[in-house]
Amino acid sequence: MAQDRHRPLRNGAARTRARLLEAAAEVFAEQGYAGASVDEIAGAAGVSVGSIYSRFGSKQELFEALMSEHLARDVARVRDGMAVGLAEGVSTPDDILHEAAGSRRRTLLDAETWVSAMRTPALRRALVEYEAAARHETSRTFAEQRGHIGVDIGMSDEEFATVVMALYQGLLRQVRLDPDVVAPDLLSRVLMALVRGLAADTGDAAPRDR
């Protein structure tokens, strides 16, 4: 009991690391990689520059650690978000979309991730890998749903997942730029229409050049 008083001060290792990554997230997000100074990050974290360089070897390594954590968190979010399912008519895809759009921090870090990935091959590979994981997760979830309903979509689950992700990311961009342009239920409306239209194209239900 008395020892608990000391607990928050102990294990400074992980604690300091977390505070540093938090500060790095804030500063890198707001200023960008090149625009951020190690001094400012140190100040925001309440530590000194030397402390940063002892823990992470360089500004670049600190940035990569942050990016890695950012992507890992996003993977977890996709996994959780997929658990609720797509085609049930639930409005949760829209909730996920608007929640993601609402966070300035995430918006800026996503943008910084993208711009860095387009310049740095190593970061690009990491992002490709992450995107593939998200695609498989989406694809797998949709395959289950499709099994329940029993519709033929006319394309592979992987390709459909690609379309869903593109639509999600595209709308995310629109919402982040100007929230008024995207109705709260647009994503789910379009997804349902899309499934219907794809099923119709297989000749399952619709007349084509009769």
Partner DNA sequence: GTCTATAGGATGATAGAC
Partner DNA sequence: GTCTATCATCCTATAGAC
Q: Of the candidates 2, 4, 5, 54, which one interacts with DNA according to CB under 7 A?
A: 54
Number of residues that bind a second copy (CB under 8 A): 56
75 forms part of the interface with DNA (CB under 7 A): no
Least separation in angstroms between CB 14 and DNA: 10
| Among a second copy, DNA, none, residue 173 binds (CB under 5-8 Å by kind) | a second copy
The C-alpha atoms of residue 103 and residue 74 are separated, in whole angstroms, by 13
**Token duo for residue 130:** 């992450």
Q: Is the CB of residue 169 less than 8 Å from the CB of residue 199? A: no
| Residue 22 touching DNA (CB under 7 A) | no
Q: Is 178 in the site for a second copy (CB under 8 A)?
A: yes
18, 49, 149, 181: which one binds a second copy (CB under 8 A): 181
Task: Give the type of residue at 82.
Answer: M
**Stretch binding DNA (CB under 7 A), from 1-9, 58-66, 98-106, 141-149:** 58-66
Calculate ∠ Cα 109-114-119, nearest 5°.
125
Of residues 42-101, which lie at the interface with a second copy (CB under 8 A)?
A: none
| 13 near DNA (CB under 7 A) | yes
For binding to a second copy (CB under 8 A), which residues are involved? 30-35, 107-108, 111-112, 114-115, 117-119, 124, 127-128, 131-132, 135, 154-155, 159, 162-163, 165-171, 173-174, 176-178, 181-183, 186, 189-190, 192-198, 200-201, 205-207
For binding to DNA (CB under 7 A), which residues are involved? 12-13, 16, 36-40, 46-51, 53-55, 57-60
